[in-house]
């Protein structure tokens, strides 16, 4: 089990003169986090990168946190136990907080199966900065895609605690946006997300 280290009372946060507001003004847009959640194979990463491409073309400063990529570095020391998966999400939340301060629009593609873990990220970065996007896709469709061959291994018992097979996925109760990636095209989903950002006044100048 990986535990969050206790805070050292001798460590003091340094207040910079170049703050989030000034960085946002320089970037020409507010910083925010788009949190993509859904089963493996639901299209989270594909959608996150497609949205980033559009935002980049619009002149926004962006960065995608992809579940697999993060596991190669920042969270490379973590297993897939319940405790370590929660720690994985906590670390991402803290990292997103830094990107918000940098004035960057971050897009996070993580299964993040448990509501309490997603709620923890909300608490870390502030609910006003957290836009939850549920990539809804039936299990049978995700399993049929099986892009990484992981569902097959899970069915064979080679992977334990696999979300959707031997571990639960708790759908968001009130996501900011729910897209059906098995019925809606990639372009349709992207447009819905861009429309949501525009409604929230988060267009890039």
Q: Is 112 designated active site?
A: yes
- Which CATH number goes with the domain that contains 83? 3.40.50.300
If one counts the domains in the chain, the total is 1
Position 161 in a domain: no
Look at residue 147 and tell me if it is in a domain: no
CA dihedral over 45, 51, 54, 59, signed as positive or negative: negative
Does residue 45 lie within any of the structural domains? yes
DSSP strand pairing (62-66 vs 105-109): parallel
Average pLDDT over residues 140-169: 92
In a domain, 121, yes or no: yes
pLDDT in tens, 56-98: 999 999 999 986 666 656 666 666 777 878 888 888 899 999 9
What the block records as the tokens of 9 is 């009372």
Q: What is the mean pLDDT of the chain?
A: 88
The number of residues making up the chain comes to: 205
pLDDT at position 9 is: 66
Domain that includes residue 69, residue range = 27-138+168-199
Long-range Cβ contact pairs of 84-87 (< 8 A, separation 24 or more): 84/1, 84/2, 85/113, 85/117, 86/114, 86/117, 86/120, 87/2, 87/3, 87/4
- Domain-located, residue 14: no
Is pLDDT at 162 greater than 50 in this prediction? yes
Decide if 188 is inside a domain. Answer: yes
Residue in 42, 106, 108, 112 annotated catalytic: 112
The band of 14, judged by pLDDT with boundaries at 50, 70 and 90, is low
Does any domain span residue 31? yes
Q: Report if residue 124 sits inside a domain.
A: yes
pLDDT per position as a tens digit, 110-124: 999 999 999 999 999
Nearest to 137 by CA among 168, 183, 189, 185: 183
> What percentage of the chain has pLDDT greater than the value 70?
86
């Amino acid at each position: 089990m990986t535990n969050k280290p206790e805070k050292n009372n001798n460590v003091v946060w340094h207040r910079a003169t170049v703050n989030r507001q000034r960085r946002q003004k320089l970037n020409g847009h507010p910083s925010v986090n788009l949190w993509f959640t859904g089963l493996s194979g639901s299209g989270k990463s594909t959608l996150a990168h497609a949205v980033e491409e559009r935002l980049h073309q619009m002149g926004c400063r962006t960065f995608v946190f992809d579940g697999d990529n993060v596991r190669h570095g920042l969270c490379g020391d973590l297993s897939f136990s319940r405790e370590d998966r929660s720690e994985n999400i906590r670390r991402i939340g803290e990292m997103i907080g830094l990107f918000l301060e940098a004035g960057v629009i971050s897009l996070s593609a993580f299964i993040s199966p448990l509501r309490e873990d997603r709620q923890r990220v909300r608490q870390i970065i502030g609910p006003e900065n957290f836009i939850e996007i549920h990539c809804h896709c039936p299990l049978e469709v995700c399993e049929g895609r099986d892009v990484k061959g992981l569902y097959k291994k899970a069915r064979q018992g080679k992977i334990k605690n696999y979300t959707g097979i031997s571990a639960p996925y708790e759908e968001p109760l009130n996501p900011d946006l729910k897209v059906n990636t098995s019925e809606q095209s990639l372009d349709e989903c992207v447009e819905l997300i861009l429309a949501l950002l525009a409604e929230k006044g988060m267009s890039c100048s």
